[in-house]
Structure 1
Amino acid sequence: MQSEKRADTGADASGERMGTPTVAGRLSPAFGVLAVVLLAINLRPGATSLGPVLAEIQQDLGMNAAVAGMLTGAPGFGFAIFGATAVALGVRVGLAAGLTMGAIAAAVGLLGRSVVGSVPLFLLLTVVAFAGMAIGNVLVPAYIKSRYPSRIASVMSAYTVSLAIGATSATMLSAPIAHLPGSSWRVSLGMWGVVAAVAAVPWLVLAVRERRRRASGEIGPRVSGSVFAVIRSRKALALALFFGMQSMHAYIQFGWIAQLYRDGGLPPTYAGAMVSLLASLGIPAGFVMPWVAARVRDPRPLVVALFVFMVSGYLGVWLAPTTMPWLWAILIGLAGCAFPLAMTLITARTRDLHITTQVSGFTQSAGYLLSAAGPLLVGVLLQVTGSWTAPMIFLLGCAVVFLIAGLLAAGPGFVDDELAQASAVDAGAR
């Protein structure tokens, strides 16, 4: 608990340097939480709403299968590329202003792509939406650390639960809304642009207040830096690999587990229900895991438990898919607790807010790059070998990497200290 207090103090101080208020002032703390929740709900639907209506989009726009395949893999690459630039944006304009820009970009992209009639414009506006979502992915954890240093766990819970609600809602509602009388895929996708526009409003208020505080001198000068500045920290690398492995497994599960169930003899509807079951567990996981991780002295046993859940679930679906399929789905879903744990570790293993922002950007950029490559590799292995043996061996091997990286990331120590030590070594060498 003492280390948590030190981390919070560091975050509070550096919050001033990043250009974000650390005290409520005239705005209630609940207003900031509301802004976080509304934005979080909008950080996944731009991607998860596509799949259920992809066939209708292809038919209406004349989109070929190759472009559609590229579109389904775009979220991971988009989050990786634009996430790497989010830190520079937050440093330049401030966290609240950066998040305002992210919300607006998401709204413009989501609304715009729902009305265009050409494939290139649809793809361009989708990229704009993903850029806005990537900014939110990276800057929200830093905002939470700076704005709520003594309540990080509870606000992170609200954030991760809202992420899961947004992702799940888009998956469940996209097709039904598109097939309502008088509706279409355009209405189904466009409504998320409206929701994103609503989310931008409280951030605009926070950004205006942030600018006034800077003009009055309440907020100190900005600092500079790159997400790659943290690469000399072994813990930062472990965090990136842990986040990447959990993200890669999640995207593989959403894309391939239903097919694995079906190939094992489960009816298509039942297989789809199992994927919905494992995805739905992200909501309670997002609520519980940040709270648990903040209260245990050593979170490494949590990593081991998640590894056991993951491997047990994979082996069950692979070797006995029709025997208690719900159990394998639950085990894989419980392994998804790794996402809120990874997000919590980003704030728990950094002190200075600027370091938190850099680690968040580096971790998520590297992680989402892995998440984009994972489903592709599984598809290639399945195509080349004609069976699930090679893909499952690949998944089990990646689970071991997940375990090792998680143990290093969750172990004691701070990224800040490792970077300071590296700088001291460099100074001594000079």
Structure 2
Amino acid sequence: MTTPTPRRPRLLGPLLVVLAVFTVGVNLRPGATSVGPLMTDIVDAFGQGAFASGLLTALPPLIFGGFGLLAVPLSRRLGLTGTIVASFVVAALGLMLRPASEVFAVFVVLSALALLGPALGNVLVPAWIKLHGGTRTVGLMTLYSATLALGGSAASALAVPLAGSEAGGWRDSLLLWGMVLAVPVVVWTVVLTRTGHDFPPPPARGEIGGSLLRSPTAIALTLMFALQSLNAYTQFGMLPQVLTDLGVTPARAGVLVAVVAGWGLVGGIVMPTVIAKVPGLPWIVGGFGLLNAIGYLGLILFPTVSPMLWACVLGIGGFAFPTAIALLPARTRSPLVTARLSGMVQPIGYLLAALGPIIVGVLLEATGSSAVVLWFLAGTGLLLAVAGFRVGLPRLVDHEIRA
């Protein structure tokens, strides 16, 4: 596939860059997180059962992984900005048409299209920030990580209130996010008129074509992202059931999971600056994995002490996610390598993460023991600690693949 010759881009003003990152970050998660709270109503409306719920739960990481693999090839053709605009137009159509579906298979296909924009945006936005952010890269990554958490949490929290009490209200609730997605489409279209085709140019010595598999940092970052995402999707989808089995009331279990997710906003604000300025990063990033393991062990050994305490421990352990996102530009020098690294870490990581809810479901069905599930998750926390420690070392992927 040939890459069109880029025209000289016009400079992007600080306000436009911030507006672009804010609008895209807020809208990368609602298409996925707005479904979970309405799952029962959606599945019942189509006359489906547990399999349909499992499919819709696993769909986001599967689509993020599968479509994410197309991000770099498509952006070579359309540019980073052009690919984000095109994918969000398709996503907006999917979000607006999905609520009108009368057949479950159509709903699933439209849901996949609705996740196309986030799937490509996940990969390309860090590279876009690396290319266009300049001296504002750390601040923009902070904004991006924080708005990811904000958008995902807001969509989940508002899903049921927006649906109201009327039958079929879930359709109106889902429709809203398609209308909201028009905002980043407009903003990024304006950005596109200034950037033109903006796929990162090769470095001065020629394109860095070495395999990312030659980079220990790239491999460790992929494993870190996969393990953290595995924990996150398992927590969102299965942890309420596990907590209920441990004697926590369903309402309390929902609050605890919300607390775990809420810490992600703090992590998104704090970690890009920590990565840029704080020494001892390997111990900090490795410590997030240990905190995950400690949180799960606390629920196993001392479930009645304070479930809220263990939820906070797990939430702080979840800082591994915004850390992995912020490390994509921090562990690369060339925006081209940032795009390639993001195109490997996130798609593969999300595909591996989709195994988490499946494995937990199998363990629950085979053993009927929530403790077994928590021991499994604690083990993934230890693996996350090892991968995080390696990623925290001050190494550049550019150098490793060139060596």
Q: Please tell me whether the aligned partners of residues 88 and 225 of structure 1 are also in contact (alpha carbons under 8 angstroms).
A: no
- Aligned twin of 1:208: 193
Aligned to 1:236: 218
1:351 match: secondary structure: coil
Distance 1:233 1:18 in 2: 29
Change (3 A) 1:62 1:256: closer
Cα displacement string for residues 283-338 of structure 1 (whole angstroms, at most 9, x for unaligned residues): 11111111111112341121233123212211112222221111111100011111
Off by >6 Å, runs of 4+ in structure 1: 218-228
Report if the CA contact (8 A) 1:250-1:336 is conserved: yes
Q: 1:98 aligns with which of 83, 97, 100?
A: 83
Verify the 8 A CA contact 1:20 1:96 in the aligned structure 2: no
Moved more, 289-298 or 34-43: 289-298
Q: What is aligned with 1:187? A: 172
Counterpart position of 1:363: 345
Listed as ranges, the gaps of 5+ residues in structure 1 are 1-16, 422-430
Q: Which residue of 25, 28, 50 corresponds with 1:65?
A: 50
Q: Write the letter of the residue equivalent to 1:356.
A: T
What amino acid does structure 1 have at the position aligned with 2:176? M
* 2:113 pairs with 1:131: no
Amino acid at match of 2:192: A
Match of 2:281 among 299, 309, 313: 299
TM-fit CA distance, 1:107: 0.8
Aligned in 2, Cα 1:112/1:70: closer, same or farther, shift over 3 Å?
same
Is the contact between residue 45 and residue 192 of structure 1 (CA under 8 Å) also seen in structure 2?
Answer: yes
Q: Which consecutive residues of structure 2, in runs of 5 or more, have no partner in the other structure? A: none
| 2:328 is aligned with 1:346 | yes
2:237 corresponds, among 224, 244, 255, to: 255
Change in CA separation of 1:20 and 1:269 when aligned onto 2, cut-off 3 Å:
farther
Match of 2:360 among 362, 378, 386: 378
1:115 paired to 2:100: yes
Q: Which residue of 2 aligns with 1:47?
A: 32
Q: Aligned match of 1:151 in 120, 123, 136? A: 136
Does the CA-based 8 Å contact 1:19-1:219 persist in structure 2? no
TM-score by length of 1: 0.87
Q: 1:38 to 1:20 in 2, by over 3 A?
A: farther
* AA matched with 1:394: F
The equivalent residue for 2:247 is 265
Aligned 8 A contact 1:316 1:328 in 2: yes
SS for the counterpart of 1:107 is: helix
2: CA distance, partners of 1:325 / 1:304: 23
Secondary structure of residue in 1 paired with 2:100: coil
Q: Which amino acid aligns with 2:79?
A: G
Greater shift after overlay, 196-205 or 55-64? 55-64
The number of residue pairs the alignment matches comes to 400
Greater alpha carbon shift after TM alignment, 135-144 vs 269-278: 269-278
Q: Which residue of 2 aligns with 1:288?
A: 270
Contact kept, 8 Å, 1:177 with 1:183, in 2: the verdict is no
Q: Which position in structure 2 is the counterpart of 1:308? A: 290
Is contact 1:382-1:391 (8 Å) kept? yes
Secondary structure of the structure 2 residue equivalent to 1:350:
coil
What is the CA distance between 1:415 and its match in structure 2? 0.8
Between the aligned partners of 1:322 and 1:172, the Cα distance in structure 2 is 27
Secondary structure of 1:341's aligned partner: helix
Match of 2:181 among 189, 196, 202: 196
SS of the equivalent of 1:114 reads helix
What is the CA distance between 1:228 and its match in structure 2? 9.6
Tell me the equivalent position of 1:409. 391
The residue type equivalent to 1:120 in the other structure is: A
Aligned to 1:321: 303
The answer to whether the 8 A contact 1:84-1:227 is kept is no
1:388 aligns with 2:370: yes
Query: 1: distance between equivalents of 2:332 and 2:108?
Result: 37
How far did residue 385 of structure 1 move?
Answer: 1.3
Identify if the C-alpha distance between structure 1 residues 312 and 220 changes in structure 2 by more than 3 Å, giving closer, same or farther: closer
Query: CA shift at 1:219, angstroms?
Result: 9.1
Supply the distance in 1 between the matched residues of 2:193 and 2:275 (Cα, whole angstroms): 34
CA-to-aligned-CA distance 1:42-64 (integer Å, 9 cap, x gap): 11111111111122112223334
Per-residue deviation, residues 169-223 of structure 1 (Å, max 9, x unmatched): 1111101111256871111001011111211111111112222x78xxx996899
Partner SS, residue 266 of structure 1:
coil
Instruction: Please say if residues 293 and 382 of structure 2, whose CA atoms lie closer than 8 Å, have aligned partners that are also in contact.
Output: no
**TM-aligned CA deviation for residue 416 of structure 1:** 0.8
The alignment-based identity, stated in percent, is: 39
Q: Distance in 2 between matches of 1:227 and 1:400?
A: 33
Give me the CA root mean square deviation: 2.6
Instruction: Tell me the residue number matched to 1:33.
Output: 18
Structure 2 partner of 1:427: none
Superposed displacement of residue 123, structure 1? 1.0
Give the alignment's TM-score, normalised by structure 2: 0.93
